[in-house]
Structure 1
Amino acid sequence: MKKIFNLMAVACAVMAFASCEKDNGGSSETDPNQPVMTWEANPKFETTELQSEMDVVISISAPAGIETFVVDVDSDALEPIISVVNNGSSTMDLVNPPAGLSGILSGVGLPTGDALKGQTSVTLDLSNLVPLIITVGESNLKPDSNHTFTLSLSDADGRTLQQPVTFHYTGTSASAE
C-alpha cells in the first residue's frame, strides 16, 4: 500500500512539474513580428451562428509583410459555387487568384493580389458576405451545419499564421422539411 501511495505521489509531482513547465512555456514573450489576426466581436474565434446581420471584421497584422494568403472553404453550401470560379477548387489563393475569382472577390470588397502582397496591415470586412451563405448557398444549405473558412498566411520572413473561422447554421423547421 505504501508503495502505491509513493508511486501516486511521484506521478502527481511529475504532472504538477510538467504542468508548470508548460505554463511557463506558454507565457514566454512572443515574437513581436509574428502575424496576428483579431476579430473584435469574437476575440476567441469561437463558432458563431449565422445571422442576417453580423459583425465579421477581421484585422490582420503582419509586420514583415504578407507573402501568401490562402482561404480554404469547408462548406457544403459554398464549395460548389466557389469551385466553379476557382478552377475546381475550394481553396482560394488571394494573392494569386484566377482572373474570375479575383474579379468577384474585388467586386465584394475583399483585397486580392497587390492589395494583400507585401501589406503589413489588412482588414477583411466579411460582415455583408458571411450572411450570404444562407441565401447564395441555399440549395446546398443543410440545417445544423458548420461552414469553416481557414485563413492561412505567411509573411516575407517565413512566419505563418492559420486561423479557422467557423459559422454554424441551425436552420429552421421549414428548411429541414
Structure 2
Amino acid sequence: MTDSLPATSPESATVEAEVLQDARLWRKDGWTARVIKNEDDDGWAVEMIKDGEPEPALVGPWTMGRDKKNPKPLDTGAFNTLVKTATEVLRRHEQQLHAMLHKRVSVSVAAGDIDVTLEIVPDEYEPYAVLTALDVFGEQVGQQRVAPTFKLTKACATAWAEGGFGRID
C-alpha cells in the first residue's frame, strides 16, 4: 500500500500562495488590494500596493456595505478595476518624472537645425545634468555638463549653439 499525496506540486503551491481573495484583502498578479479604516472619517478606504513597493500606488474611498458599518467585500470586478486604475496612476507618474528629467528644444542657427537635450541625473549625493546638441543627422555636435537646476530654453540653446557649444555658466 502506498501513501497518497496531495495532487499539488511545489509550483502550484507557490501560485496558490500568491493569490489571496478575502473580503478585505486580495493579492493577485503582483498587486495587493487592502480595505482599511479611513483615518479621516468613519468610512473605509482601499489601498493598492504593487509587489515590492513600500508605498501604495493608489488610496481611495471604499463603499460601505449594506449594514452601513462594515466595508463592502472586495470582488473580482472591483479588484480588476483597482489594478487598472493603480497601473494608470503609476504610468502617469513615470511619464511626469520622465518629462521633468528630459527636456528637448529645437533651434535654427547658421550651422543648421540643432536639437538640444537636457538630461538630468538625480543622483542622491551629486545630481547633475548633461546638455547635448545633435545635428539633423543625429550626430552629436556638442556636449556640456551643467547644474541640475539649469533651465533649458530656446534662447540659451541658440546662444550655446552660436557660441560653438563652449562652456555655459
TM-score (norm 1): 0.22
TM-score (norm 2): 0.23
Higher helix proportion: 1
Higher strand proportion: 2
Highest RCO, 1 vs 2 (Cα 8 Å, sep ≥ 6): 1
